[in-house]
Amino acid sequence: MLKRKIESDLLAWKNQNGRKNALLIKGARQVGKTFIVDKFGLESYKSFIRMNFEENKTLREIFAGDLDIETLRKQITLNIPNAELIPGETLIFLDEIQSCPNARTALKFIVDDGRYDVIASGSLLGINYKEVSSYPTGYEDEVIMRSLDFEEYLWAIGINPDGIAGIKGYFDSGKRIPEAMNNKMLAYLREYIVIGGMPAVVAEFIETADFNKALKRQRAIIANYLNDIAKYAEAAERVKARACFLSMPRQLAKENKKFQYKVVDKTGSARKYDGSVMWLADAGIVDVCNNLDTPEAPLSGNTKPGYFKLYMQDIGLLVAMLDDGTAKEIIDGNLGIYKGAIYENLIATILAHNGKKLYYYAEGERFEVDFVTRIDREIFGIEVKSNRGKATSLQVAMRENPHLKGIKLEAGNIGEIGGVKTMPLYMAMFL
């Protein structure tokens, strides 16, 4: 059973005092939302009622009429055999809520009543809500769930949390980590790049230790994403969103990884494809990394409109979109043209898991800093190296912006060169 960090968030939500809002869990398909809420509901409540509106479409009828709490109580007990509504001891789980817009509206009435806890979850919440008659503004607490991060992956393969805490001690102290330990962690990281964090893929790999079976699972998930585009995207966006998605490896293989519409097709333009890009982001398939005019706070207020990169939310799915044999090249450290793409996407994934919005800083052909983020109230530029190398662009940016601090993530050890802190790639999980 895979341990997930969100479990502690769910418990803290349950134990809070005063009025409790509904908890809205957003995330891409197959990141484990249903499994983790089922586990939490069964372990933490006397009564657990789950309604999956895609699995059982007839459940939508519960919310087809009046939405006052007494009507809902009657409809739930009428339509769900053995459902018990025990005040203070019941969790109602509205799964795939995007398929029942009225259920989203009903959250307000359940929260106002206060007798039952309610969690809503959905895979396409940013896309499929045009039919919601009244959003429950002020009645929801939102949390984003993603695939397993690198630390959760380490837990899954049996690495003791105390061991991870010991590694963080080297990060905190700035002392070099023993080479044998560092090499082992870098090997685990390469494995994570190939497998990624989709729960079904991780579970398959742990059970079988078979990279080919894991790849088969990943490609099935990719096929499901393409099916979602065909099913849920508006007719005008379907072909375009699919084309944008399938262009991801080509976008990231370029020296300049800025998303370019002409890579999607020769006549591509923002006007033609901008809506498709946002569809993929809203579906939780990709992360958007915006370019900055200047690396100063507030970062969100200093972005350049129209200049951005896209990264796959799950690093393993990006690798699965590449040629057969890529997994072996990654494990062996030989990546060819995809070397920069894979490691940049890896760090984007780790930063996003840490709750960071993604930004980069580029000035034409002069320099490009892979990522810019705030850490402990200071602005840091982050340069990513798959092996070892100079942080030339970062040093130029630091000279021109004296407030900017620098970190280079590489397949090396902890140190400092020219005012830039260096650390192993896996230590991004501690940023």
Boundaries of domain holding 294: 150-430
Question: With contact defined as beta carbons under 8 Å apart, do 381 and 396 qualify?
Answer: no
Q: Tell me, what's the pLDDT at 94? A: 97
| pLDDT digit string, tens, across residues 273-286 | 888 999 999 999 99
The CA distance from 377 to 403, in Å, is: 11
Q: Does the pLDDT of residue 339 top 80, yes or no?
A: no
| pLDDT digit string, tens, across residues 117-175 | 999 998 876 555 455 556 677 899 999 999 999 999 999 999 999 999 999 999 999 99
* 311: its two tokens: 């990264």
**Band of pLDDT at residue 337, cut at 50, 70 and 90:** low
Q: Structure pTM?
A: 0.93
Q: Who wins on pLDDT, 256 or 277? A: 277
User: Are residues 94 and 210 located together in one domain of the fold?
Assistant: no
User: Are residues 305 and 331 located together in one domain of the fold?
Assistant: yes
Which of 82, 110, 144 terminates a domain? The answer is 144
Share in percent of the chain as helix, strand, coil (round to 5): 50, 20, 35
Q: Tell me, what's the pLDDT at 136? A: 77
Mean pLDDT computed over 359-385: 92
Mean pLDDT computed over 47-56: 96
Q: Tell me, what's the pLDDT at 134? A: 65
Q: What does residue 248 show for φ and ψ, rounded to 5 degrees?
A: -55, -50
Question: With contact defined as beta carbons under 8 Å apart, do 204 and 3 qualify?
Answer: no
What is the helix (H) or strand (E) element at residue 98, kind and residue range? none
| pLDDT digit string, tens, across residues 80-131 | 999 999 999 999 999 999 889 999 999 999 999 999 999 999 887 655 545 5
Question: With contact defined as beta carbons under 8 Å apart, do 401 and 375 qualify?
Answer: no
Domain-embedded: residue 405:
yes
User: Are residues 70 and 184 located together in one domain of the fold?
Assistant: no
User: Are residues 93 and 241 located together in one domain of the fold?
Assistant: no
Question: With contact defined as beta carbons under 8 Å apart, do 244 and 225 qualify?
Answer: no
Q: Does the pLDDT of residue 24 top 90, yes or no?
A: yes
The CA distance from 198 to 209, in Å, is: 15
User: Are residues 54 and 198 located together in one domain of the fold?
Assistant: no
Domain-embedded: residue 290:
yes
User: Are residues 125 and 167 located together in one domain of the fold?
Assistant: no
* 191: its two tokens: 């494995």
CATH number for the domain that contains residue 63: 3.40.50.300
Taking each helix axis from N to C end, the angle separating 33-44 and 6-14, rounded to the nearest 10 degrees, works out to: 40
Domain-embedded: residue 99:
yes
Domain-embedded: residue 55:
yes
Residue type, position 189, single letter = L
Question: With contact defined as beta carbons under 8 Å apart, do 6 and 104 qualify?
Answer: no
The CA distance from 423 to 125, in Å, is: 37
Count of helices and strands (H, E) across the chain: 17, 14
* 279: its two tokens: 């569809």
Q: What does residue 275 show for φ and ψ, rounded to 5 degrees?
A: -65, -35
User: Are residues 339 and 410 located together in one domain of the fold?
Assistant: yes
Which of 93, 116, 144 terminates a domain? The answer is 144
Question: With contact defined as beta carbons under 8 Å apart, do 189 and 409 qualify?
Answer: no
Cα dist from 343 to 148, 350, 390, 393, 396, whole Å: 17, 11, 16, 17, 22
Residue 280, exposed/middle/buried by CB under 10 A (0-12, 13-18, 19+)?
A: buried
User: Are residues 95 and 156 located together in one domain of the fold?
Assistant: no
93 DSSP β-pair partners: 50, 119
Domain-embedded: residue 100:
yes
Of 203, 6, 20, 3, the closest CA to residue 121 belongs to 6
Mean pLDDT computed over 20-36: 95
Which of 144, 170, 197 terminates a domain? The answer is 144
Percent of the chain with pLDDT over 90: 75
Q: E strands along 265-419, which residues?
A: 286-292, 303-312, 358-363, 367-369, 371-375, 378-384, 405-410, 415-417
Domain-embedded: residue 1:
no
* Half-sphere exposure (Cβ direction) of 333: Cα atoms closer than 13 Å: 10
User: Are residues 180 and 71 located together in one domain of the fold?
Assistant: no
User: Are residues 28 and 108 located together in one domain of the fold?
Assistant: yes
Mapped to the 3 state alphabet, what secondary structure does 305-339 carry? EEEEEEEECCHHHHHHCCCCCHHHHHHHCCCHHHH
Domain-embedded: residue 316:
yes
The CA distance from 130 to 59, in Å, is: 20
User: Are residues 87 and 73 located together in one domain of the fold?
Assistant: yes
Domain-embedded: residue 60:
yes
Number of domains making up the chain: 2
Look up residue 227 and give its DSSP letter.
H
What is the helix (H) or strand (E) element at residue 246, kind and residue range? helix 238-246
User: Are residues 80 and 159 located together in one domain of the fold?
Assistant: no
Cis amide bond preceding 101, omega within 30 = no
